[in-house]
Structure 1
Amino acid sequence: MGSGLDGDSLLRKVRLILGAFGTGAPVLGLSELARRTGLAKTTVHRVATEMVGVGLLNRHGRRYELGSLLFELGQRVPRTRDLRLIAARYLEDLALTTRETVVLSFPGDQDVLFVEKYFSQRGGGVAVTQVEGRVPFHCGASGKTLLAFGDPAIRERVMASPLRRRTPWTITEPARLEAELDRTRRQGYAIDRQELVVGYGAVAAPVFARGVAVATFTVTGPIDRLDVPRLAPVVTAAGRAVTRDFESVND
């Protein structure tokens, strides 16, 4: 990209700029990008201009949004594509069985990513639509599942960072979160009781690849009908089924 910057430094800046965008901030101006990345406005302008030139960003006047090239590249990642296709077979069945909203989540670099959702007639998707498409790892059943069974590097990074509160029930003490992760490993699934959205809870189970959780199935609904003994067996069964099917196509 002929910017005069060394490759590693330029890639770090590109990563910071891409990470500044979120579901709640799909379009950002230069000043907001500089604030979110910690980079100088002149640097953001120079790097963002090059990113527009190669399709990583789109520009509308003085504001920027993520470019469609990112979506196209994301669809080419084999593991992501295969997992989504396999999981699609089970999302509807799980929603019909539980009569609640079902979410497929992947671990992102900094957050849990909600990548597929199936809204049952009774579930309505209310709990999911009250949050962004990405949430902190320590908030909710999906994140706790990924921390308990996923990449240890993610767990170490989360534990070393402040655990910010989303609701009065969010776990913000590292020792308490560690105890919750131990419980999750023992029982094979995680439970969220209003830790992410007030009035809602969830049960989540892992999907594995080579012994590491790479996704989760999560059933979410109003806290007053969070029947864990009923939900946990079907959610964990779905996770095992997707694990089996995914591993069979990746042997």
Structure 2
Amino acid sequence: MMARRGEPDGDSLLRKVRLILDAFDTGAPVLGLSELARRTDLAKTSVHRVASEMVEVGLLNRQGRRYELGPLLFELGQRVPRTRDLRLIAARYLEDLAVTTRETVVLGFPGDRNVLFAEKYFSQRGGGVTFTQVEGRVPFHCGASGKALLAFGDPSIRDRVLGSTLRQRTRWTITDPAVLDAELAQIRRQGYAVDRQELVVGYGAVAAPVFSADIAVATLTVVGPIDRVPVARLAPVVTAAARALSRDFAGVNKS
């Protein structure tokens, strides 16, 4: 029998596991069998079989007839040395930036297909917590963090993104690869990236790269309502913090 479009061969269990894991996001943290099949383009019988095995080993949890990501994934993520070390070192920089800018600050890492936000510090304004609609993972091409990682990060990721379809999130999202490539060149010249409602309407951001061996391995990003993101004031503060974090991280790697 011919496999469905996009479905790996029968012996490609790991690729099926990857497709199922990628189907979940912050907008859809719990998914039923039919939705998993639609998002992965796998047959329902295949999704059910693989998802059942993933539940048994802790990669997924089952809630009735629906599934969510399992605790083992978090545990495994904590074991990645570079990510763990950088998160620990970055904590004080995130807090300092949140206090200084009075906006939300996030630490982003490059994933395989998306930017992953590992830590988030919320600012205090008017006695309350400022809410940001930044998701746990977002596409590289829309948002300050992603553009900073594309400009200064692994060239293979940049080539893959520029060669792919750039999906629109808002009417300000860059969807033309040539326009994005030109902006990445500008980001490399100025040392930071800016988002003006490209990811979430009404919100903007300024991001600077955190380096390891001349490659961006993370970003520090200040996020806030668009009318509270003065680039000229925020960019020097964010880039200075990212440079200091890069130095501290390099010192840990040498020890």
**Does the pair score TM above 0.5?**
yes
- Output the aligned Cα RMSD: 1.5
Contact 1:101 1:124 in 2 (8 A): no
CA distance in 1, matches of 2:163, 2:59: 31
Residue 124 of structure 1 deviates from its aligned partner by: 4.1
- 1:58 is aligned to 61
Instruction: Select 1:243's aligned residue among 238, 242, 246.
Output: 246
The count of corresponding residues between Structure 1 and Structure 2 is 244
Cα distance in 2, alignment partners of residues 115 and 66 from structure 1: 16
Following superposition of structure 1 onto structure 2, how do residues 4-83 of structure 1 map, counting pairs within 5 Å? Answer: 6=11, 9-83=12-86
CA distance in 2 between partners of 1:57 and 1:200 (Å): 33
Give the conservation status (yes or no) of the 8 Å contact 1:171–1:177. yes
Alignment-derived partner of residue 100 in structure 2: 97
Q: List runs of 5+ in structure 1 lacking aligned partners.
A: none
Aligned pair partner of 2:190 in 187, 191, 205: 187
For 1:250, what is the secondary structure of its paired residue? helix
Does the 8 A contact of 1:106 with 1:114 survive in 2?
A: yes
Residue type of the alignment partner of 1:22: D
Q: In structure 2, which of residues 168, 172, 190 is the aligned counterpart of residue 169 of structure 1? A: 172
CA distance in 1 between partners of 2:71 and 2:30 (Å): 14
Runs (4+) off by over 6 Å: none
Partner SS state of residue 169, structure 2: coil
Whether the 8 Å CA contact 1:102–1:118 is kept in 2: the answer is yes
TM-score normalised to structure 2 length? 0.92
Give distance in 1, aligned partners of 2:108 and 2:130. Answer: 15
Instruction: Please tell me the residue identity of whatever aligns with 2:15.
Output: R
Change (3 A) 1:112 1:223: same
**Unpaired runs of 5+ in structure 2?**
1-9
Cα deviations by residue, 1:14-41 (Å, 9 ceiling, x for unpaired): 1111111111111111111111111111
Identity %: 80
Partners of 2:123 and 2:163 in 1: how far apart?
Answer: 37
| TM-score computed with the length of structure 1 as normaliser | 0.93
Which amino acid letter does the alignment assign opposite residue 250 of structure 1?
N
State the secondary structure of the residue aligned to 2:124.
coil
